[in-house]
Structure 1
Amino acid sequence: MDGVKHIIAVASGKGGVGKSTVTVNLALALAAQNYRVGVLDADIYGPSQAQMLGVKEGVRPQAAANNKFLPLEAHGIQAMSMAFMVNTREPMVWRGPMVVGAFQQMLTQTQWDNLDFLLIDMPPGTGDIQLTLAQKVPVAGAVIVTTPQDIALLDARKGIEMFRKVNVPVLGVVENMSLYHCENCGHEAAIFGTGGGDSIAQEYDTQVLGRLPLTLSIRELTDSGRPSVVSEPEGTVSQTFAAIAKKVAEAVNMSQNEGPTISFSE
Structure 2
Amino acid sequence: MSNCNSCPSQSNCSKESTKCGVTNNPLNKIKYVIGVMSGKGGVGKSTISSLIARELNNKGFKVGVMDADITGPSIPRLMGLSGERADGVEENILPVISKDGIKTMSLNYLIENENDPVVWRGPMVGKAVEQFWNGVIWGELDYLIIDMPPGTGDVALTVMQSIPLSGVVMVSIPQDMISMIVTKAIKMTKQLNTPVLGIIENMSYISCPGCNTKIQLFNENHTKDFIEECGVPLLGELPMVNSICNLSNNSYEKDKIAISELFSPIVDKLIKTLK
Give the shorter-chain TM-score range: 0.7 to 0.9
Structure 2: gaps (5+ residues): 1-23
Following the alignment from structure 2 to structure 1, what is the Cα–Cα distance between the partners of residues 243 and 138? 31
Following the alignment from structure 2 to structure 1, what is the Cα–Cα distance between the partners of residues 121 and 130? 15
Residue of 30, 47, 52 corresponding to 2:73: 47
User: Is residue 69 of structure 1 aligned with residue 80 of structure 2?
Assistant: no
Contact 2:69–2:148 (Cα < 8 Å) also in 1: yes
| 2:203 alignment partner in structure 1 | 177
1:215-260 CA distance string (max 9 Å, x none):
223112x122343xx433432x42121111111111111xxxxxxx
Q: Structure 1's 96 and 64: CA in aligned 2 closer, same or farther, altered over 3 A?
A: same
TM-score normalised per structure 1? 0.87
Following the alignment from structure 1 to structure 2, what is the Cα–Cα distance between the partners of residues 83 and 219? 21
Aligned identity (percent) is: 38
Q: How far apart are residue 137 of structure 1 and its match?
A: 1.8
User: Is residue 6 of structure 1 aligned with residue 32 of structure 2?
Assistant: yes
Following the alignment from structure 2 to structure 1, what is the Cα–Cα distance between the partners of residues 59 and 215? 32
Residue of 143, 158, 164 corresponding to 1:138: 164
Partner secondary structure for residue 203 of structure 2? coil
1:134-164 CA distance string (max 9 Å, x none):
1112110100000011111011101110110
Alignment root-mean-square deviation, CA? 1.7
Q: How far apart are residue 197 of structure 1 and its match?
A: 3.4
| 1:246 alignment partner in structure 2 | 268
| 2:15 alignment partner in structure 1 | none
- How do 1:109-188 and structure 2 match up within 5 A? 109-183=135-209, 188=214
Partner secondary structure for residue 92 of structure 1? coil
What is the total number of aligned residue pairs between the two structures? 247
Q: Structure 1's 35 and 196: CA in aligned 2 closer, same or farther, altered over 3 A?
A: farther
Structure 1: gaps (5+ residues): 254-266
TM-score normalised per structure 2? 0.85
| 1:106 alignment partner in structure 2 | 132
Following the alignment from structure 1 to structure 2, what is the Cα–Cα distance between the partners of residues 198 and 82? 37
User: Is residue 231 of structure 1 aligned with residue 254 of structure 2?
Assistant: yes
Q: How far apart are residue 184 of structure 1 and its match?
A: 6.9
Following the alignment from structure 1 to structure 2, what is the Cα–Cα distance between the partners of residues 91 and 141? 30
| 2:231 alignment partner in structure 1 | 205
| 1:260 alignment partner in structure 2 | none
Q: Structure 1's 60 and 234: CA in aligned 2 closer, same or farther, altered over 3 A?
A: closer
Residue of 59, 63, 81 corresponding to 2:106: 81
Query: Which residue identity is paired with 1:232?
Result: D
Query: Which residue identity is paired with 1:81?
Result: S
Contact 2:93–2:136 (Cα < 8 Å) also in 1: yes
Runs of 4+ with >4 A deviation? 184-188
Q: How far apart are residue 172 of structure 1 and its match?
A: 0.5
